[in-house]
């Protein structure tokens, strides 16, 4: 069973339906016991980093998520759910779960590029990565993004894909049992569903 963690940060319906569409058995939950017994975790979320950490904290889920990840559970973070894995964010100068060393930074451009970075953009694989979640997805496929902050891992080895928007930012990470994507696979039509299917099949 996949626990889709509900911590009050945005609508989880699309993520849940998309996971079900590709064969996932899911429970949308904030219940510690259900999360404890899940075989995979999905942490979705849109909105403010600081609010998200507050919510996770008040649900007493921070240490549980850390613990499950340490134990090796298959984990997928989407958008804000990716960013929360990092050490800290510029958004509200807030500490994150600190599972992946690195920072979450705000897009800041001199050139006339719009923020949020909103829409479909090409996702380029980092060839050294052996992560299976991108398997069968052609390099440079387009995925749907909607965000103003991006992650900067300290360690290059965690980078799975990069995307160009003013700079080449990390659009997906993979480290052991942890996968995190900045884009929304649940909103990225066929390629998004393919990624979710890969996550379910290779976990």
Partner 1 sequence: MLAKRIIPCLDVKDGRVVKGIHFLNLRDAGDPVEIAAHYSREGADEVVFLDITATIESRPIILEVVKRTAEEVFIPLTVGGGISAVEDIKQLLASGADKVSINTAAVKNPGLIRESSKKFGSQCTVVAIDAKLQKTGLSSDICHLTSDGKWEVYIDSGRTPTGLDALKWAKEVESLGAGEILLTSMDADGTKAGYDLELTKRVSESVDIPVIASGGAGNLEHLYQVLSEGKADAVLAASIFHYGEYTIKEAREYLRSKGIIARN
- Could you list the residues that contact partner 1 (CB under 8 A)? 10-11, 13-14, 17-18, 21, 46-48, 112, 114-122, 140, 142, 144-148, 164-165, 184, 186-189, 192-193
Assess whether 174 carries a catalytic annotation: no
Assess whether 135 carries a catalytic annotation: no
Nearest alpha carbon to residue 78 among 189, 158, 132, 4: 4
Give me the catalytic one of 79, 131, 147, 174: 79
Assess whether 79 carries a catalytic annotation: yes
- Give the nearer residue to partner 1 in terms of CB position, either 27 or 144: 144
Question: Nearest distance from residue 173's CB to partner 1, in Å?
Answer: 21
- Give the nearer residue to partner 1 in terms of CB position, either 64 or 146: 146
Residue 140 region, left (φ>0) first, then alpha (ψ -120 to 50), else beta?
left
- Give the nearer residue to partner 1 in terms of CB position, either 14 or 87: 14
Give me the catalytic one of 135, 186, 201, 202: 186
Nearest-angstrom CA–CA distance, 169 and 150: 7
Q: Helices 49-58 and 62-70: crossing angle, nearest 10°?
A: 90
- Give the nearer residue to partner 1 in terms of CB position, either 121 or 177: 121
Question: Nearest distance from residue 37's CB to partner 1, in Å?
Answer: 26
CA atoms within 13 A on the CB side of 33: 0
Residue in this structure with the two tokens 């429970």, named with its chain if needed: 27
Say if CB 78 and CB 42 are below 8 A apart: yes
- Give the nearer residue to partner 1 in terms of CB position, either 17 or 32: 17
Say if CB 195 and CB 19 are below 8 A apart: no
Contacts of 153 (CB under 8 A, 6+ apart): 86, 100, 101, 102, 159, 170, 173
Give me the catalytic one of 90, 184, 201, 202: 184
User: Would you please indicate which residues are annotated as catalytic (active-site) residues?
Assistant: 79, 184, 186
């Amino acid at each position: 069973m996949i626990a889709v963690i509900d911590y009050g940060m945005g609508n989880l319906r699309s993520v849940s339906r998309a996971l079900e569409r590709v064969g996932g058995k899911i429970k949308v939950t904030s219940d510690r016991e259900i999360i404890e017994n899940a075989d995979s975790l999905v942490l979705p979320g849109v909105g403010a980093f600081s609010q998200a950490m507050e919510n996770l904290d008040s649900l007493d889920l921070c240490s549980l998520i850390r613990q499950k990840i340490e134990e090796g559970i298959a984990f997928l973070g989407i958008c804000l759910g990716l960013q929360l894995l990092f050490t800290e964010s510029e958004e509200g100068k807030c500490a994150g779960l600190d599972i992946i060393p690195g920072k979450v930074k705000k897009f800041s451009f001199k050139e006339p590029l719009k923020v949020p970075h909103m829409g479909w953009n090409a996702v380029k694989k980092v060839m050294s990565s052996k992560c299976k979640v991108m398997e069968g997805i052609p390099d440079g496929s387009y995925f749907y993004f909607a965000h103003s902050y991006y992650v900067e891992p300290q360690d290059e080895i965690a980078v799975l894909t990069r995307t160009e928007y003013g700079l080449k930012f990390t659009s997906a990470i993979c480290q052991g049992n942890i996968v995190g994507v900045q884009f929304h696979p649940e909103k990225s039509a066929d390629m998004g569903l393919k990624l979710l299917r890969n996550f379910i099949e290779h976990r």
